[in-house]
Amino acid sequence: MPAVALKRAGGSAGNPTQARRLSESVAHKLAVLIIGGKLRPGEILPNEDEFAASLSVSRTAYREAVRMLTAKGLLAAKPRAGTKVQPREKWSLLDPDVLNWHLEVEPSHAFIVSLFELREAVEPSAAALAAQRHDAADLAAITAALRHLERDPEDSPAVLHADLAFHHAILKATKSDAIIAMSPVIGSTLRWSVELTIVALPRVHGEALPFHRGIYEAIHARDAQAAERIMREHIHAAIRNTLASLAAAAARRGET
């Protein structure tokens, strides 16, 4: 296995909360190395004593980190065979942690498009169902999020929180447990997209507001067809802006 430099993770495992955080920190470091390609599929990790020592953590913390990544499909641990990095098709890509780790590493164009394809498969239908099924509490939550989107400065963290709240409230208004369960995935994609475009294309927030207002008005009017159409247009605009932001970032780095 190639030498991989990891920052030392200090801390004591005496406190259960600290121990959990330490294991999560180790899992995070390993996951980023795997997703970034520095630890490749099929590679066997060093024995736990060696790796735990290299990280300055206990074997218990290291074992827990391995268990976390095994549960998410990034690693496979077998007696006498060692701990092996799994191929990408084994990963639980829609697990919120795996998705966030993936987006922390420079994601590929294809992966970004696939995430927006997932949003397009879910959110327009969700908006239509929300128009049909929402109750007063759902509408109040969507309204509150929209008001923050209209009022808060475009470069403030509050805008991101409001955007996440807006989309989550729509999913919740569907009354569909399966659709609501997609909220962490959609939220992770949305968070990354908003953070990227706010830096590269500050105008995007203002351009997105008419979509948010239109979706709200369609849901309020119980116009399922309009809610579905405007949400789809909103997602199409979001993917265009996200890809444009990536291209701008690549240009700043001097990439072709």
Q: Is the pLDDT of residue 13 over 50?
A: no
Q: CATH number of the domain at 106-252, please?
A: 1.20.120.530
Quick: pLDDT tens for 34-72.
999 999 999 998 877 877 777 778 888 888 999 999 999
Quick: pLDDT tens for 226-246.
999 999 999 999 998 888 887
Instruction: Tell whether pTM > 0.85.
Output: no
Q: What is the DSSP string of the chain?
A: ------------SSSHHHHHHHHHHHHHHHHHHHHTTSS-TTPBPPPHHHHHHHHT--HHHHHHHHHHHHHTTSEEEETTTEEEEPPGGGS-TTSHHHHHHHHHS---HHHHHHHHHHHHHHHHHHHHHHHHH--HHHHHHHHHHHHHHHHS-TTSHHHHHHHHHHHHHHHHHTT-HHHHTTHHHHHHHHHHHHHHHHHH-TTHHHHHHHHHHHHHHHHHTT-HHHHHHHHHHHHHHHHHHHHHHHHHHHHHTT--
Domain limits, the chain: 16-90, 106-252
Quick: pLDDT tens for 151-199.
987 767 788 899 999 999 999 999 999 999 999 889 888 888 877 776 6
- Which CATH architecture is the domain 16-90 placed in? Orthogonal Bundle (1.10)
